[in-house]
A and B are shown apart, each in its own frame.
Chain A
Amino acid sequence: EPEVTQTPSHQVTQMGQEVILRCVPISNHLYFYWYRQILGQKVEFLVSFYNNEISEKSEIFDDQFSVERPDGSNFTLKIRSTKLEDSAMYFCASSDGRTDTQYFGPGTRLTVL
């Protein structure tokens, strides 16, 4: 069964460094998302992406964040200058647009020191 994959599974970085989290959505899906879950808290929406542009973003998704679909398969989340409070599990999701079901990847645990 097709699945969303994410790399790396765990990323440790120093505060102020840039990180790129990578996702490969399900191949025929058209809508892509990033969510994050700070330890012990709710899953929070960050951004949705369709037709090579951002369709919606949350207040969390400030100028430090960017997303890109550099080729036909990858979908990336970049954090330009990480802060301690960016430490969280980051989930990528995709949907085909015919239903609202979103399929989530296993997540990348980001630890900012």
Chain B
Amino acid sequence: SQQGEEDPQALSIQEGENATMNCSYKTSINNLQWYRQNSGRGLVHLILIRSNEREKHSGRLRVTLDTSKKSSSLLITASRAADTASYFCATASLPGAAGNKLTFGGGTRVLVKP
């Protein structure tokens, strides 16, 4: 698989349920970021987790990072219809280098049914 592969590719849940999606990557990273994209729109930055961090929270979002397994998960708790979007993980590889390019995964399409 390529750098930054999300799993599952698609997820359908009821409003109020939690949504969990995973991302795997292949090379060493400096940090991993999650982005949301509403259909046909731009990418909205959600959260960044550094390679020396294991877990991070932001509102209803919880991100974990396991560098030994080269994987990350994004949990959205108490989902809302407005959370319907595609979610992408993106990795930045160069340690300590500003201006890192991001390598994106294929994304998970999340549908939250009211």
Give B contacts to A, CB under 8 Å: 2, 30-31, 33, 35, 40-45, 48, 88, 90, 92, 98-107
Closest beta carbon of chain B to A104's beta carbon, Å? 4
Question: Chain A: interface residue count, which band?
Answer: 20 to 34
Residues of chain B contacted by A95 (CB below 8 angstroms): 98-99
Sorted nearest first, the 10 A-B pairs with minimum C-beta distance are A97-B98, A106-B42, A43-B104, A104-B43, A31-B99, A45-B101, A100-B92, A104-B42, A50-B99, A42-B104
Q: Is the CB of B48 within 8 A of A101?
A: yes
Residues of chain B contacted by A93 (CB below 8 angstroms): 43
A102 contacts B by Cβ under 8 Å = yes
Write 11 A-B pairs (CB below 8 A) sorted by A numbering.
Answer: A45-B101, A45-B103, A48-B99, A50-B98, A50-B99, A100-B30, A100-B98, A100-B100, A101-B33, A105-B42, A106-B42
Total of A-B residue pairs, C-beta within 8 Å: 65
Other than the given A48-B99, A102-B45, 16 more pairs (CB < 8 A) read A31-B98, A31-B99, A42-B2, A43-B43, A56-B99, A58-B101, A89-B40, A91-B42, A98-B98, A100-B31, A100-B33, A100-B100, A103-B45, A105-B42, A106-B42, A107-B41
